[in-house]
Chains A and B, each alone.
Chain A
């Protein structure tokens, strides 16, 4: 049996993101083509050999649940174990991860595996959790925390919010925190005299998407081939629910360059330096430049879009910046 259990926090909702996904649930965001944010971390868990995943959600998560279903697309629809959705016991939003976990102590007690990985559902990343487990076992610390390594900034590490620890420690910490509703990060990681923490550095493509700006910036970053090679590694595939869309159609006058075009797009106009999600139409005479166009949007004749995220009829203006770093 695999040694690792996964707990995915897919409960976060941001009001700013309500324009992109009805509930504002950041894990349900469509990103990078036919994918949703939650697909990346679910796939990471499955690629690491994890077969049991608990997914923490909040109210209003219908879109996410409709997408994830029984977890079959990730081979998590199992007779024993597999994906278990952990719906909220109450109505108020969770204050932090510990707050969420304390609702599910019985679930934690039933975890069969020796180690648990806690990860956010709104991080776009192709991350080797199995390698992190190896490092954790060798490292000897109580908790291993994955961090984004910054070039030239050896001492600065940005947390990826992926934590690996033993199941027994997680249960202890959760029991200690009941009633105090702490944040995993603030309340006891900062009390680091009680637990030892080591970091696991990751230098590949990554991004936590909780604002429109981050959504735009990370989408644009995919236009770099290194980013795509990293994120869509065929040896560690990103799985999602099957769709039955036909390929993208290019009309006789279509002009597209330096862009990512998803299936079922219909291009008769001009597209450059942009990311088009599935089912986008760009009519003849329309032009799109430095944009992210979300699924099903129709860009009508003689419309000219520049530096926006386009969602149906709504546009979110984006600042013009230098090419995104991977």
Chain B
């Protein structure tokens, strides 16, 4: 069964900078935007772009992610030919196979999967980016430029450029230089970590990279620079839409707040480009007599009797009378008891903020200020005050 293009979706990372949010689940499984999980965006982009064969490479704490993905049915990827394939690390005969050692090594170990479908093109994606993209346009440019590899790129604020792989290009989109996380960036055109390869070129370079013991087996750090050096034709596909790599708590919080903007691409359904998700069947949410909700997103099963402003509420959240929630993210099943105040915080799944407790603090411009996280299933004691740098916060399920 031949496919023109298949996708390899990297979903194995821990996302350790998301701290307590990824203690028990892989980063792509982290809830986002009130209704979604991070991986929904890449999966939906694939199916909307006509890519019906997606390998999802998992490794870190995969149980929630595997359960969530199931047979791929919510994303229309439950297919008899192709569809979603979950690809965890594995062992083979003669001690072959091992834990994935880097993004390139993960794909290298799954060359056999790719070969099953004899694709002309392989699209390498990340499972933790928030964006909507039609990959067929990238493929069109890839063909037109006769590139061996096309990298999707977008302009980032110059002050952020050092966090990315920075590209410079010729007028015909050909990539002239590529520097991974440069201290002094030459420009601000950043790699999005979305790569489209001709399969043979990818295979050759994965094998060569595997044989290089000094390599970290990372696309951005090793494979792409080697390709550029060896004369592989690399092309940049300029992307103009909304894109976020939500790898840190501040960027995660920012991206959730972004969907509160009426102009957000993510907030409204676009029938031409839906974002599919698996979500529980729940009744509509209820706003009580004393409930006050403004500039927020609220989802099914919530019961609001307090004040909610500038916040994102996932399903089954309870906000009791007198409670105030501002500039915060409340994950599924979170409870904010009477007269508690939650601001600039993330309350993780099933966590409880006790009566009269105060969680989070207003930004004060200092380096020590941060978004406060109440970990999964933790309980904040009544009347307790909690801010981002309180040490006990890292303990889950414990009265803090």
Contacts and interface: CB of A to CB of B under 8 A. Distances in A.
Interface of A: 32-35, 72, 222-223, 225, 228, 231-232, 237-240, 242-264, 266, 275-277
A62 B286 CA distance: 32
Given A242-B278, A246-B34, A261-B298, A276 B289 contact: no
B349 to A, nearest CB: 16
B294 A248 contact: no
Contact of B286 (A35, A245, A246, A259): A259
A250 B298 contact: yes
A254 B293 contact: yes
Given A239-B281, A262-B284, A251 B295 contact: yes
B295 A252 contact: yes
Contacts of B276: 244
B85 interface: no
Contacts of A264: 269
B224 to A, nearest CB: 34
A225 to B, nearest CB: 7
B284 A32 contact: yes
A238 B279 CA distance: 13
Nearest to B304: A256
Contacts of A242: 74, 278-279, 281
A263 B278 contact: no
The 6 closest A-B pairs by CB, nearest first: A247-B299, A247-B34, A33-B284, A262-B284, A247-B297, A260-B284
B267 A246 contact: yes
B289 A248 contact: no
A228 B283 contact: yes
Given A244-B274, A257-B287, A260-B284, A250 B269 contact: no
A257 B283 contact: no
B291 interface: yes
Q: How would you classify the secondary structure of chain B's contact residues: helix, strand, loop or mixed?
A: loop
B235 to A, nearest CB: 33
B281 A246 contact: no
Contacts, number: 118
Contact of B35 (A232, A253, A263): A263
Given A225-B303, A247-B34, 16 more contacts: A228-B286, A239-B281, A242-B74, A246-B33, A246-B266, A246-B268, A246-B297, A247-B35, A250-B293, A251-B294, A257-B287, A257-B289, A258-B287, A260-B283, A262-B284, A277-B284
A264 B298 CA distance: 9
A263 B74 contact: no
A275 B285 CA distance: 10
19 contacts: A33-B283, A33-B284, A35-B281, A238-B281, A246-B268, A246-B275, A247-B298, A249-B267, A250-B293, A250-B295, A250-B297, A250-B298, A251-B262, A254-B294, A258-B287, A261-B284, A261-B286, A263-B299, A275-B284
A238 B267 CA distance: 26
A239 B283 CA distance: 10
Contacts of A244: 74, 269, 274-277, 279
Contacts of B295: 250-252, 254
Nearest to A223: B286
Given A32-B284, A244-B74, A275-B284, A253 B294 contact: yes
Nearest to B44: A244
B294 A245 contact: no
A238 B74 CA distance: 18
Contacts of B292: 255
A261 B308 CA distance: 15
Contacts of A247: 33-35, 297-300, 312-313
B73 to A, nearest CB: 8
Contacts of B34: 246-247
B314 to A, nearest CB: 8
